[in-house]
Amino acid sequence: MRLGGVAPFEDGATLSFVASKERADRDLLYAIPRFRMSLLPLVAIYGEAASGKSTLVGAFGAIIEMVREASFSPLLSLSARSDVETLSLSMVIAVDDRLYEYVVALQGARVVKEALISARSSSDEVLFLVEGDGPTPVVVPSIVTASHLLRRFDEMRANDIDAIVRALGGAICVDALELLDNREIVVKKSTLVTISDFLEIISDNPSSLLKSIMTGGMDEDERASNDQVEANEGSTTTLSLRELSTSEGALVAISSLLVGQIDDLKSGIVLIDNFDALLDFRITRFLLGKIAEGVKVGGLMSIVLVMKDTVFFDQGFFRRDQLVLTGGSGDNRSITSLAEISELRFDKDIRKMYVNRLFDSL
């Protein structure tokens, strides 16, 4: 995802899932041989308040809402650097072994560019383009958003565009601090068996724990057979988190969110803001392990975890290119992958001290 003309990133910003050449945990990467590249299934963004994290989360949510609503208005929530600044946002999405880039640029409330580009190993192909030249946009039948693109392409290409629309339209962007507002969550009964695997860290009998917090309940036949539970794919139940601690409730809420995405495979994009805000260290580390297990078997997934606590920075849990730092000074914030900083020594304490001098987020 690329941002241009957006405060506080004076020089623009790019959040990349492209893996570096390091060898650690290469079995967790998604290879795209056509482009001789691999993609990261998980990126962790670290940064303190006002370091630029909220802008990234807002941009991510804006492009999702734009596709869902078939409207550019969600992008107006982003703060342009000035009234005359062109605000641009693009997202590159992998569909099997193909890469597509969707680009939107606004000047004030006016759309000056919208494009859909198919990346090729030799040269890119522009599939759709609307550009404004000067004060008046080029006259075209309509300026459309991604959710309207299907009817513009042949059936083979439409399948890829449909995958893009489903990925963005079905993506999840949530704030962990808001997950527990009503202390109740609705989950599909077919996912309960998998959710119980996440609860083993807080209960010796996770199945009984789930049963105790279910307000909808299951009938005897459903409890007797997991196959029958999975057969009722459309049926849901409500889990009440009132009797659980804050950290335990967050575990249930976040695990149900992740399991639902992996189970449905409707979208490979999940962003969780304030991921570590409600979780203790033990549960957070456990959840990260479960996420790693999930991406191994769940197909192409892109998970973004936004955190403030640097407790995992020295844990060796993430690859260097999975650690993204936001920071800087004044209006010139930046996004930097740890893999881009080559001067670091191997000693972890020295590494943290060194990066601390560069980024106020640490």
**pLDDT at residue 223 is higher than 60:** no
Token match 């789930």: residue?
210
Q: What is the pLDDT of residue 18?
A: 92
Query: What proportion of the chain, given as a percentage, has pLDDT over 90?
Result: 7
More confident residue, 121 or 210: 210
Instruction: Give the mean pLDDT of 274-286.
Output: 84
* Residue 359: pLDDT band with limits 50, 70, 90: low
Q: What is the pLDDT of residue 279?
A: 82
* Residue 266: pLDDT band with limits 50, 70, 90: low
In order, the DSSP letters of 90-138 are EEEEEETTEEEEEEEEEETTEEEEEEEEEE-SSS-EEEEEEEEETTEEP
More confident residue, 123 or 230: 123
Instruction: Give the mean pLDDT of 105-134.
Output: 79
Strand residue runs (E) in the chain: 2-4, 13-14, 30-32, 37-39, 42-46, 86-95, 98-107, 110-119, 125-133, 136-137, 172-175, 184-188, 236-240, 269-273, 302-307, 323-329, 332-337
Q: What is the pLDDT of residue 276?
A: 83
Instruction: Give the mean pLDDT of 192-220.
Output: 82
Q: Out of 138-142, 190-194, 298-302, 313-317, give the one with best mean pLDDT.
A: 190-194
Domain extent listing, the chain: 2-40+50-171+308-358, 174-266
Return the minimum-mean-pLDDT range out of 21-30, 112-121, 251-260, 290-299.
290-299
CA 187, CA 191: separation in Å to the nearest integer?
7
